[in-house]
Amino acid sequence: MKPGMEVGMAETLKIIVTKDMFAAFEGEVIHTVYSTVAMTYHMEWVSRKIILPFLESHEEGMGASVDVKHISPSLYGAELTLTATITELHANEVLTAIDVYNNFRLIGKGKVKQVILPKDTITKMFEAVST
Protein backbone atom coordinates (compact mmCIF):
# COMPACT_ATOMS: atom_id res chain seq x y z
CA MET A 1 0.00 0.00 0.00
CA LYS A 2 1.06 3.54 -0.60
CA PRO A 3 1.75 5.53 2.56
CA GLY A 4 -0.68 8.00 4.08
CA MET A 5 -3.71 5.95 5.09
CA GLU A 6 -4.65 6.84 8.67
CA VAL A 7 -7.28 6.08 11.29
CA GLY A 8 -9.96 8.77 11.08
CA MET A 9 -9.87 9.19 7.31
CA ALA A 10 -13.36 9.20 5.81
CA GLU A 11 -15.17 8.92 2.48
CA THR A 12 -18.74 9.71 1.56
CA LEU A 13 -21.12 8.23 -0.99
CA LYS A 14 -24.42 9.83 -1.94
CA ILE A 15 -27.10 7.78 -3.65
CA ILE A 16 -30.79 8.03 -4.53
CA VAL A 17 -33.01 5.05 -3.70
CA THR A 18 -34.16 3.46 -6.96
CA LYS A 19 -36.54 0.57 -7.63
CA ASP A 20 -33.67 -1.85 -8.21
CA MET A 21 -32.67 -1.25 -4.57
CA PHE A 22 -36.04 -2.44 -3.20
CA ALA A 23 -36.26 -5.49 -0.96
CA ALA A 24 -37.00 -8.33 -3.38
CA PHE A 25 -36.66 -12.10 -3.54
CA GLU A 26 -36.74 -14.15 -6.74
CA GLY A 27 -37.90 -11.10 -8.67
CA GLU A 28 -40.80 -10.33 -6.34
CA VAL A 29 -40.66 -6.99 -4.54
CA ILE A 30 -41.48 -7.56 -0.87
CA HIS A 31 -41.12 -3.97 0.35
CA THR A 32 -40.88 -0.82 -1.75
CA VAL A 33 -38.04 0.55 0.37
CA TYR A 34 -34.24 0.51 0.38
CA SER A 35 -33.17 -3.07 1.07
CA THR A 36 -30.58 -4.39 3.47
CA VAL A 37 -28.87 -6.05 0.50
CA ALA A 38 -28.47 -2.66 -1.20
CA MET A 39 -27.25 -1.10 2.05
CA THR A 40 -24.60 -3.81 2.40
CA TYR A 41 -23.42 -3.20 -1.18
CA HIS A 42 -23.21 0.55 -0.63
CA MET A 43 -21.34 0.09 2.67
CA GLU A 44 -18.72 -1.98 0.87
CA TRP A 45 -18.55 0.59 -1.93
CA VAL A 46 -17.99 3.60 0.34
CA SER A 47 -15.37 1.65 2.29
CA ARG A 48 -13.62 0.74 -0.96
CA LYS A 49 -13.44 4.43 -1.89
CA ILE A 50 -11.11 4.94 1.07
CA ILE A 51 -8.54 2.36 -0.04
CA LEU A 52 -8.46 3.13 -3.77
CA PRO A 53 -5.93 6.00 -3.63
CA PHE A 54 -3.57 3.84 -1.58
CA LEU A 55 -3.52 0.67 -3.68
CA GLU A 56 -0.33 -0.08 -5.58
CA SER A 57 -0.78 -1.24 -9.19
CA HIS A 58 -0.09 -4.86 -8.13
CA GLU A 59 -2.62 -4.79 -5.25
CA GLU A 60 -6.36 -5.14 -4.80
CA GLY A 61 -8.73 -4.98 -1.86
CA MET A 62 -11.09 -7.78 -0.89
CA GLY A 63 -14.03 -7.62 1.44
CA ALA A 64 -13.45 -9.86 4.45
CA SER A 65 -16.48 -9.09 6.61
CA VAL A 66 -19.53 -6.85 6.79
CA ASP A 67 -21.65 -6.11 9.85
CA VAL A 68 -24.90 -4.30 9.05
CA LYS A 69 -27.62 -2.91 11.27
CA HIS A 70 -30.58 -1.67 9.21
CA ILE A 71 -32.34 0.74 11.59
CA SER A 72 -35.03 2.51 9.58
CA PRO A 73 -36.61 2.30 6.10
CA SER A 74 -36.05 4.77 3.27
CA LEU A 75 -38.51 5.25 0.45
CA TYR A 76 -38.07 5.41 -3.31
CA GLY A 77 -36.33 8.64 -4.32
CA ALA A 78 -34.78 9.28 -0.90
CA GLU A 79 -31.28 10.72 -0.94
CA LEU A 80 -28.91 8.71 1.22
CA THR A 81 -25.48 9.66 2.49
CA LEU A 82 -23.09 6.92 3.54
CA THR A 83 -19.94 7.87 5.41
CA ALA A 84 -17.17 5.37 6.07
CA THR A 85 -14.43 6.20 8.58
CA ILE A 86 -11.29 4.18 9.15
CA THR A 87 -11.33 2.89 12.72
CA GLU A 88 -8.42 0.45 12.63
CA LEU A 89 -5.42 -0.37 10.46
CA HIS A 90 -3.51 -3.64 10.92
CA ALA A 91 -0.80 -4.54 8.38
CA ASN A 92 -2.93 -5.26 5.29
CA GLU A 93 -6.35 -4.95 6.99
CA VAL A 94 -8.53 -1.85 6.91
CA LEU A 95 -11.57 -1.59 9.20
CA THR A 96 -14.22 1.06 8.67
CA ALA A 97 -17.34 2.15 10.52
CA ILE A 98 -20.22 3.30 8.32
CA ASP A 99 -23.21 5.52 9.07
CA VAL A 100 -26.10 5.75 6.61
CA TYR A 101 -28.45 8.74 6.77
CA ASN A 102 -31.44 9.82 4.73
CA ASN A 103 -32.68 13.41 4.87
CA PHE A 104 -34.36 12.81 8.22
CA ARG A 105 -32.48 10.28 10.33
CA LEU A 106 -29.86 7.61 10.75
CA ILE A 107 -31.09 4.54 8.85
CA GLY A 108 -28.14 2.20 9.17
CA LYS A 109 -24.81 1.50 10.83
CA GLY A 110 -22.17 -1.02 10.03
CA LYS A 111 -18.58 -2.13 9.85
CA VAL A 112 -16.55 -3.35 6.89
CA LYS A 113 -13.21 -5.16 6.95
CA GLN A 114 -11.09 -5.15 3.82
CA VAL A 115 -7.85 -7.02 3.21
CA ILE A 116 -5.25 -5.65 0.80
CA LEU A 117 -3.48 -8.40 -1.14
CA PRO A 118 -1.24 -8.74 -4.17
CA LYS A 119 -3.33 -9.44 -7.27
CA ASP A 120 -1.37 -12.63 -7.98
CA THR A 121 -2.24 -13.93 -4.50
CA ILE A 122 -5.91 -13.29 -5.19
CA THR A 123 -5.66 -15.06 -8.55
CA LYS A 124 -4.06 -18.09 -6.86
CA MET A 125 -6.84 -18.12 -4.24
CA PHE A 126 -9.49 -18.17 -6.98
CA GLU A 127 -7.66 -20.92 -8.88
CA ALA A 128 -7.43 -23.02 -5.72
CA VAL A 129 -11.19 -22.95 -5.14
CA SER A 130 -12.03 -23.69 -8.78
CA THR A 131 -10.30 -27.07 -8.80
83-128 residue pLDDT tens: 999 999 999 999 999 999 999 999 999 999 999 999 999 989 888 9
Q: What b/e sequence results for 64-103 when a residue is b if at least 16 CB atoms lie within 10 Å of its CB, and e otherwise?
A: eebebebeeebeeebebebbbbbeeeeeeebbbbbbbbbe
- Report the pLDDT averaged over residues 62-86: 97
Distance of CA 49 to the CA centre of its chain: 9
**pLDDT value for 87:** 98
Is 97 in contact with 111 (CB distance < 8 Å)? yes
**pLDDT value for 79:** 98
pTM value surpassing 0.85: yes
Strands 79-90 and 10-16: antiparallel
- Ramachandran angles phi, psi of 38, nearest 5°: -65, -40
CB burial of residue 47 (10 Å; 0-12, 13-18, 19+): buried
Label residue 24 by pLDDT band (50, 70, 90): very high
Residue ranges of domains in the chain? 10-129
Q: Nearest-CA neighbor of 13 among 44, 35, 56?
A: 44
The superfamily (CATH) of domain 10-129 is: Hotdog Thioesterase (3.10.129.10)
**pLDDT value for 13:** 98
pLDDT tens track for 28-48: 999 999 999 999 999 999 999
> Does residue 131 register a pLDDT over 80?
no
